[in-house]
Amino acid sequence: MDFGGQHIVVTGASSGIGLVTAELLARRGARVSLIARRKDKLDEAVAAIGGNAAGFAADVGEKDQLDSALDAAAAHFGPVQGLFANAGLTGGFTPAVAFDPEVFEQTVRVNLTAVFWAIQKVLPPMIEAKKGAILVTGSMGSKRGMAMNPAYVASKHGVLGLTRAIAVEMAPHGIRANCVIPGFIRTEALDRIPPEQQGKIEARVPQRRMGSPEELAEVAAFLLSDAASHVTGQDWAVDGGVLESIEV
pLDDT at res. 33: 98
Residue 247 is predicted with a pLDDT of 54
Which residue positions in the chain have pLDDT lower than 70?
A: 246-248
- Give me the residues paired with residue 55 across strands: 34
CB of 244 closer than 8 Å to CB of 51: no
Domain with 102 in it: 7-240
With respect to residue 110, please indicate whether it lies within any of the assigned structural domains.
yes
Total domains in the fold of the chain: 1
Per residue in 83-114, pLDDT (tens digit) is 999 999 999 899 999 999 999 999 999 999 99
pLDDT value, residue 4: 93
Q: pLDDT at position 193, please? A: 77
CATH number at 157 reads 3.40.50.720
Phi, psi (deg, nearest 5) at residue 169: -70, -35
Query: Does residue 69 fall inside a structural domain?
Result: yes
Give the closest residue to 34 by CA, choosing from 46, 25, 17.
46
Confidence (pLDDT) at 248: 45
Q: What is the dihedral of CA 33, 67, 142, 238, to 10 degrees?
A: 0
pTM as predicted: 0.96
pLDDT score of 49: 98
Residue 248 within any structural domain of the chain: no
Catalytic site residues? Answer: 152
Q: Please indicate, yes or no, if residue 127 is contained in any of the structural domains.
A: yes
Domain-embedded: residue 247: no
In Å, the largest CA–CA distance within the chain is: 52
